[in-house]
Structure 1
Amino acid sequence: MTGVPVPYEVVRTVRETADTVTLTLAPAGQEVLPPFAPGRFAMVYAPGVGEIPVSVSRVDRRTIVHTIRSVGAVSAALCRLGPGVQVGLRGPFGTGWELERAAGGDVVVIAGGIGLAPLRPLLLEALAAPGTYGRLHLLVGARTPEDLLYAGQLRAWAAAHEPLRCAVTVDRPSPGWSGHVGVVTTLLNDAAFDPPNTTAYVCGPEVMIRATARDLVHRGLPADRIRVSLERNMRCATATCGHCQLGGVLVCRDGPVIGWDRAESLLLVREL
């Protein structure tokens, strides 16, 4: 981990949705950041604009992949970049999903909106280790069909069936949509897993995280086997600005991934 941004170059851009872009970044020089584990994040610097924390959306040996939604000045600047442009990266920071916790049991991955991006490396890691886990479910929710991330990959995963069971729902269907309509928790009704021996990984808007985690607990999952990401609270990555403080937790230092047994009380304060 370094405090000085390391120059990386955009080598590929993919427009995922109207406001979301995936950037593949490669070292622009000899210096390379240490490997990123799924769930961890980098501080991504847009020259002349500023930097923001972004979780990795794919883990490779040399390149770093980020899927970024345009929601502010820095993210908008990053989404406009094309191949050949340099950015600065610092990291890796934070805690990871810790998929090893799930070995031998069922795995349920639940994503809302842009939350699928930090969950994708976890899913790919699980798919790369057949036989390590039991049943594997991916449940994805989005506002509309046009807001679905990685649409091509989702179609491929849904068609493959084994070892992954993939289900998708939207809040507001567009003309021609024949899939499921409703909040993402409704997909749990058709997902077969053994609650006491299941580990769930959840990322999305806070209201979705709360509803999903509570539903999983109601179905019998232990709270400490529900891993959630609170990355939307982060700003500086160094636990100095206090922006990400929730109770006694500084998300950029103690998270962003923590167990629901800790996260529930932290988010309850915000909910009230």
Structure 2
Amino acid sequence: MATVDGKEIARSYTPTSTDNDKGFFELVVKTYPTGVISSYLDKMSIGDTIDVRGPRGAFKYTPNMVRAIGMIAGGTGITPMYQIIQHILGNPEDKTKVSVVFANVNEDDILLREQLEKWAAEHENFEIAYVLNNPPSGWTGATGFVSKDMLQKAMPEPASDIKVLICGPPPMVKAMDGHLTDLGYDKAKTISKPEDQVFKF
């Protein structure tokens, strides 16, 4: 929370650090020219402060809670996924298979790419596929919007021991709801509960 032009403004962000990091937390914040809080944070100097409260959210991950998790992220929607992926891959006893479809407009928009690709190279139970709306010349990944066919190939098949997590812009989340319903997943609720097969952050 920050005071901007005399008004208290609050936004929700997911830490990319874990509960094992003591005494600090890290955020990934994408700066937009019209973003009130992101622009404010971008202009802060060392020693400046903001008020923080939390944690919030209903989804709590526990090791091996399901056999496989599919994740659909758009832009900064990768941050809650990133935290869960860290917990899974950082625990040798956790055998959960994780498949991520990560959609962005441009290649430069792909947040946390270096670490995500490092994990994909090091862990057999983690894979990631990128989708770009505006791909550069020579791009070999998927292009356009995330399609039903992409999800059918990347997500675990509907079953009682899997979950699909979604986080991204509202139009994307709505489209993913439709695709997943068509593919036979339990329809995502307007307000997701942790026990739902499809959970929206």
Give the TM bin, normalised by the shorter chain.
0.7 to 0.9
Report the 3-state secondary structure (helix = DSSP H, G, I; strand = E; otherwise coil) of the residue aligned with 1:53.
coil
Report the 3-state secondary structure (helix = DSSP H, G, I; strand = E; otherwise coil) of the residue aligned with 2:52.
strand
Residue 78 (structure 1) aligned with residue 41 (structure 2): yes
Report the 3-state secondary structure (helix = DSSP H, G, I; strand = E; otherwise coil) of the residue aligned with 2:50.
strand
Question: In the alignment, is the contact (CA less than 8 A) between 2:88 and 2:96 conserved in 1?
Answer: no
1:52 maps to amino acid: A
Q: Take 1:63 and 1:72, find their aligned partners in 2: how far apart are those partners? A: 25
Match of 2:50 among 83, 87, 99: 87
Change (3 A) 1:103 1:211: same
Report the 3-state secondary structure (helix = DSSP H, G, I; strand = E; otherwise coil) of the residue aligned with 1:222.
coil
Q: What is the 5 A alignment of 1:34-183?
A: 44-45=1-2, 50-58=8-16, 59=18, 60-69=21-30, 70=32, 71-92=34-55, 94-100=56-62, 103-183=65-145
Task: State the 1:204 CA deviation.
Answer: 0.2
2:11 maps to amino acid: P
1:83 maps to amino acid: I
2:76 maps to amino acid: I
Task: State the 1:192 CA deviation.
Answer: 5.6
Report the 3-state secondary structure (helix = DSSP H, G, I; strand = E; otherwise coil) of the residue aligned with 1:183.
coil
Task: State the 1:178 CA deviation.
Answer: 2.6
Report the 3-state secondary structure (helix = DSSP H, G, I; strand = E; otherwise coil) of the residue aligned with 1:90.
coil
1:132 maps to amino acid: D
Question: In the alignment, is the contact (CA less than 8 A) between 2:71 and 2:81 conserved in 1?
Answer: yes
Q: Take 1:176 and 1:161, find their aligned partners in 2: how far apart are those partners? A: 27
Change (3 A) 1:47 1:178: same
Change (3 A) 1:225 1:201: same
Report the 3-state secondary structure (helix = DSSP H, G, I; strand = E; otherwise coil) of the residue aligned with 2:27.
strand
Alignment correspondent of 1:204: 168
Change (3 A) 1:45 1:192: closer
2:2 maps to amino acid: Y
Residue 214 (structure 1) aligned with residue 175 (structure 2): no
Question: In the alignment, is the contact (CA less than 8 A) between 1:56 and 1:66 conserved in 2?
Answer: yes
1:62 maps to amino acid: G
Question: What do residues 208-230 of structure 1 show as CA deviations (whole Å, max 9, x unaligned)?
Answer: 1111122222222223211102x
Aligned residue-pair number: 185
Tell me how large the CA RMSD over aligned residues is: 2.5
Change (3 A) 1:216 1:66: same
Question: In the alignment, is the contact (CA less than 8 A) between 1:105 and 1:198 conserved in 2?
Answer: yes
Task: State the 1:127 CA deviation.
Answer: 1.8
